[in-house]
């Protein structure tokens, strides 16, 4: 597995070796041993999958406290712009985001450590999105930041009139609200 750095420490793009022939392809998408050799030690406990259509923007979501989650995300079919925002107070990249194109064709994955808000925009007619989490989902620990907050400066490549949000995501608080009552602080471990 190849690890590609992003401008935000801890956030990493992963590329698996792909073996293709006339029958199709094979790739290993997860190996604890391989990830540990890259410095990623998350112990994944839950897998999730979603199906969304063009224009859907999901996020920006995070889990706080003991339910904070590291994630390993990928696209099985279609294309998304995947975005992670650093919420770790004290981090030199606090409030900054990284955006990565994930597609069923490029088969890239994004590792998102604890302490980040996460979301994505569907760029294809439909997209099947899958991710691993290292903590179980707990609704009482859920938090969000508004994906359209101008302070974050995220360039969502969906025309304004074609963007679709859940009502919960549309009402998500501004980043300024998070700054007033942050839940993640930089530690020696990174989150």
CA–centroid distance for 161 within its chain: 24
- Rg of the chain over Cα atoms, rounded to whole angstroms, equals 16
3-state SS assignment for residue 35? helix
Residue with tokens 């700054």: 179
Region of residue 115 (left: phi > 0; alpha: psi -120 to 50; beta: else): left
| Catalytic site includes residue 137 | no
Phi, psi values for residue 58, rounded to 5°: -110, 135
Question: Which of 97, 118, 131, 178 is an active site residue?
Answer: 131
Q: State yes or no: cis peptide before 16, omega within 30 of 0.
A: no
Active site residue 178: no
Considering the candidates 61, 62, 97, 118, report the single residue annotated as catalytic.
61
Would you please indicate which residues are annotated as catalytic (active-site) residues?
A: 61, 131
């Amino acid at each position: 597995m190849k690890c590609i750095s992003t401008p935000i420490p801890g956030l990493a793009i992963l590329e698996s070796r792909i073996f293709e022939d006339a029958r199709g392809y094979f790739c290993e998408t997860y190996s604890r041993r391989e990830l540990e050799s890259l410095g990623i030690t998350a112990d994944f406990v839950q897998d999730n999958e979603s199906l969304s259509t063009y224009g859907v923007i999901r996020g920006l979501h995070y889990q706080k406290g003991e339910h904070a989650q590291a994630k390993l995300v990928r696209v099985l079919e279609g294309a998304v712009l995947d975005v992670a925002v650093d919420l770790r107070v004290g981090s030199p990249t606090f409030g900054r985001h990284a955006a990565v194109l994930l597609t069923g064709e490029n088969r890239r994955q994004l590792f998102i450590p604890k302490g980040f808000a996460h979301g994505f925009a569907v760029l294809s007619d439909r997209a099947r999105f899958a991710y691993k989490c290292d903590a179980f989902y707990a609704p009482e620990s859920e938090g969000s930041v508004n994906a359209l907050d101008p302070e974050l400066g995220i360039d969502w490549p969906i025309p304004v009139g074609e963007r679709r949000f859940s009502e919960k995501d549309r009402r998500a608080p501004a980043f300024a609200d998070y700054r007033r009552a942050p839940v993640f602080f930089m530690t020696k471990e990174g989150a």
